[in-house]
Chains A and B, each alone.
Chain A
Amino acid sequence: MHVIVLSWEFPPRIVGQLAGYVKELTVQLAKKNVETNVVTYHDFLTGQHEEPEGIKTYRVTNPVRTHIGVLTWVLTLNQEVERAAANIYYNANKQIDLMDVHDWHFIQAAVTLKKAFNLPFIYSVESLEEHRSHGANYPFNMAIKSIEWLGLYEAKKVIVKSEWMRDEVTRVYRVPMDKIKVIAPKSSTWMKDILEIYNSTMRGAVLK
Chain B
Amino acid sequence: MTRELTVMMLTWEFPPRIIGGISPHVYHLSKNLAKNGVKVCVVTCDFPGAPQHEVVDGVEVFRIDSYKNPSPDFATWVYLMNVNMQKEAAALVNRLNGRVDIFHAHDWLVANAGIGLKHVFRKPLLATIHSTEVGRRNGLHFDYERMIHETEAWLTYEAWKVICCSNYMVSHVRWAFGLPEDKLVMIPNGVNLQEYTRNKNINFSRFRKKFASPKEKIVLFVGRLVYEKGVHVLINAVPRILEKVNAKFVIVGNGYMKEPLSNLINGMGLAHKVMFTGFVDDETLKNLQRCADVCVVSSLFEPFGIVALEAMAARSPVVVSDTGGLAEIIDHDVTGVKVHPENPDSLAWGIKKVLLDEKHANWLTNNAHRKMLEKYDWNKISRQTKDVYEAVLKEYSKSFWT
CB closest chain-A residue, reference B140: A66
Residues of B within 8 A of A65 (CB): 150
Residues of A within 8 A of B71 (CB): 139, 143
Complex Cα spacing A185 to B112, Å: 35
B72, A143: Cβ atoms closer than 8 Å: yes
CB closest chain-B residue, reference A67: B147
Residues of B within 8 A of A64 (CB): 147, 150-151, 154
B143, A113: Cβ atoms closer than 8 Å: no
Query: Does any Cβ of B come within 8 Å of A69's Cβ?
Result: yes
Interface positions, chain A 107-165, Cβ under 8 Å from B, are 108-109, 111-113, 115-118, 138-140, 142-143, 146-147, 150
A112, B122: Cβ atoms closer than 8 Å: no
Interface positions, chain A 66-103, Cβ under 8 Å from B, are 66-69, 71-72, 75-76, 78-79, 82-83, 86-87, 90
Residues of B within 8 A of A71 (CB): 72, 76, 79
Query: Does any Cβ of B come within 8 Å of A47's Cβ?
Result: no
User: What is the CB-to-nearest-CB distance from B72 to chain A, in angstroms, rounded to a whole number?
Assistant: 5
Interface positions, chain B 99-154, Cβ under 8 Å from A, are 112, 115-116, 119-122, 143-144, 146-147, 150-151, 154
Interface positions, chain A 32-83, Cβ under 8 Å from B, are 63-69, 71-72, 75-76, 78-79, 82-83
* Stretch binding the partner chain, chosen from B48-56, B85-93, B177-185: B85-93
Residues of A within 8 A of B122 (CB): 86, 90
Query: Does any Cβ of A come within 8 Å of B69's Cβ?
Result: yes
Complex Cα spacing A142 to B116, Å: 24
A72, B94: Cβ atoms closer than 8 Å: no
Complex Cα spacing A101 to B80, Å: 19
Query: Does any Cβ of A come within 8 Å of B82's Cβ?
Result: yes
Complex Cα spacing A79 to B118, Å: 10
**How many A residues have CB within 8 A of the partner chain?**
35
Known: A71-B76, A76-B151, A139-B72. A116 touches B82 (CB 8 A): no
Complex Cα spacing A146 to B79, Å: 13
Q: Interface majority SS on B: helix, strand, loop or mixed?
A: helix
A66, B147: Cβ atoms closer than 8 Å: yes
B79, A111: Cβ atoms closer than 8 Å: no
Residues of A within 8 A of B91 (CB): 115-116
CB closest chain-B residue, reference A137: B70
Complex Cα spacing A190 to B112, Å: 37
B116, A112: Cβ atoms closer than 8 Å: yes
Query: Within the complex, which residue of A68, A75, A115, A117 is in contact with B73, where a contact is CB–CB below 8 Å?
Result: A68
Residues of A within 8 A of B120 (CB): 82, 86, 112-113, 116-117
CB closest chain-B residue, reference A116: B90
CB closest chain-A residue, reference B155: A63
Residues of B within 8 A of A83 (CB): 115-116, 119
Among the interface residues A66, A83, A111, A147, which one has the most CB atoms of the partner chain B within 10 A? A66
A76, B112: Cβ atoms closer than 8 Å: yes
B112, A75: Cβ atoms closer than 8 Å: yes
Interface positions, chain A 155-193, Cβ under 8 Å from B, are none
Complex Cα spacing A86 to B118, Å: 10
**How many B residues have CB within 8 A of the partner chain?**
34
Residues of B within 8 A of A118 (CB): 94
Residues of B within 8 A of A142 (CB): 69-70
Complex Cα spacing A65 to B140, Å: 14
B119, A138: Cβ atoms closer than 8 Å: no
A143, B90: Cβ atoms closer than 8 Å: no
Residues of A within 8 A of B112 (CB): 75-76, 78-79
Residues of B within 8 A of A75 (CB): 76, 79-80, 82-83, 112
B86, A112: Cβ atoms closer than 8 Å: yes
B143, A68: Cβ atoms closer than 8 Å: yes
Query: Does any Cβ of A come within 8 Å of B75's Cβ?
Result: yes
Residues of A within 8 A of B76 (CB): 68-69, 71-72, 75, 139-140, 143
Complex Cα spacing A116 to B93, Å: 7
Among the interface residues B67, B90, B94, which one has the most CB atoms of the partner chain A within 10 A? B90
User: What is the CB-to-nearest-CB distance from A150 to chain B, in angstroms, rounded to a whole number?
Assistant: 7
Complex Cα spacing A150 to B87, Å: 11
Residues of A within 8 A of B119 (CB): 79, 82-83, 86-87
A115, B94: Cβ atoms closer than 8 Å: yes
User: What is the CB-to-nearest-CB distance from B110 to chain A, in angstroms, rounded to a whole number?
Assistant: 12
Residues of A within 8 A of B150 (CB): 63-66
Interface pairs (19), CB distance under 8 Å:
A65-B150, A66-B143, A68-B73, A68-B144, A68-B147, A75-B80, A75-B83, A82-B119, A82-B120, A83-B115, A112-B87, A112-B116, A113-B90, A113-B120, A115-B87, A116-B94, A117-B94, A139-B72, A146-B80
What 8 pairs across the A-B complex have the smallest Cβ distances?
A75-B79, A83-B119, A116-B90, A115-B90, A115-B91, A66-B146, A139-B70, A64-B150
Told that A108-B83, A115-B94 touch, could you supply 19 new A-B pairs with CB distance under 8 A? A64-B150, A68-B73, A72-B76, A72-B79, A75-B76, A76-B79, A79-B119, A82-B120, A111-B83, A112-B90, A112-B116, A112-B120, A113-B120, A139-B69, A139-B72, A142-B70, A146-B69, A146-B80, A150-B83
